[in-house]
Amino acid sequence: MGGEATQLPRIDFSGVDPSAPGAGPWAAVRAQVMDALTTFGCFGAHYPPLTPELRASLFDGAVRPLFSLPVETKRRNYYGPDKPFHGYLGGLPGLDAYESLAIIDGPKPEPVRAFADLMWPGGGNAGFW
């Protein structure tokens, strides 16, 4: 891609097995991701297993309610000053609409449930996890 790229890259993840990092085309796709992040800070992802129905259920049932929470609630997701990008990140000067929330060990069920309980005390949000 380099400095002359003018169009947001679209990276094909269809051959990557998320349960086997490092296998198959993983290294090549990782290199594309790193280049896109270095050049643009983002990329478009093509991942056929993520059907429109699954995408809608993820965003409508989990992501929208999560990011609709008050900022004070989202700030509970904090892992300490030694991990500044592992919790809630938002309210950045010049990036008014940017927010992110990280779940350490997110692929594991227990950290996701603990995160849901943190965001929605008193039983969490079963639709989230």
Q: What is the pLDDT of residues 70-104, one digit of tens each?
A: 999 999 999 888 887 788 989 888 888 889 998 88
Please report, as a single letter, which amino acid is at residue 25: P
Q: Mean pLDDT over residues 34-52, rounded?
A: 84
Residue 29, φ and ψ in degrees, nearest 5? -70, -40
pLDDT for residue 129 is more than 70: no
pTM of the model: 0.59
Q: Is the pLDDT of residue 1 over 50?
A: no
Q: How many angstroms separate the CA atoms of 44 and 39, rounded?
A: 13
| CA–CA dist 25, 14 (Å, integer) | 10
Q: What is the mean pLDDT of residues 19-36?
A: 85
- The rounded distance, in Å, linking the Cα atoms of 42 and 114 is 28
Residue of 2, 39, 32, 34 whose CA lies nearest to 15: 32
